[in-house]
Amino acid sequence: MRATFNLPDPLIQDLLRVTGEKKKTKAICLAIEDFIRRKRKEKLLSLSGKINIDLDWKKLEELELKGMKERENLRKPHRHKRMD
């Protein structure tokens, strides 16, 4: 996507220096990606202690194994007894 921005030259020069990039577009993309990554991390960290997950992993494992057996039984061909 093309966009036109008025960014201060010292800011762009500093960004190029810090990122080690030679192209402005690449440096700006790296900065935006880093910003988004940090904001997502902050959001996740802000949820700490706010979400209560009470999982009984043993029960979940039993349910998963039961489901696997049921699916396995559905895949097996049914054999009919011969009635003579």
Structural domain for 40, as ranges: 1-49
Give domain status of residue 2, yes or no. Answer: yes
Structure confidence by residue, pLDDT tens digits, 42-70: 998 998 878 777 778 888 899 999 999 88
- The overall pTM is greater than 0.75: no
Confidence of residue 73 (pLDDT cuts 50, 70, 90): confident
Predicted pLDDT at 23 = 97
Residue 21 neighbours by CB under 8 Å, 6+ apart: 27, 30
Contact 21, 27 (CB under 8 A): yes
Q: Is residue 76 assigned to a domain?
A: no
Residue 64 lies in a domain: no
34 within 8 A of 45, measured Cβ to Cβ: no
Q: How many domains does the chain have?
A: 1
Report yes or no on 1 lying in a domain. Answer: yes
Over residues 13-36, the pLDDT tens digits come to 999 999 999 999 999 999 999 999
Question: Residue 35 contacts by C-beta under 8 Å, 6 or more apart in sequence?
Answer: none
Query: Is residue 56 included in any domain, yes or no?
Result: no
Max alpha carbon distance in the chain (Å)? 94
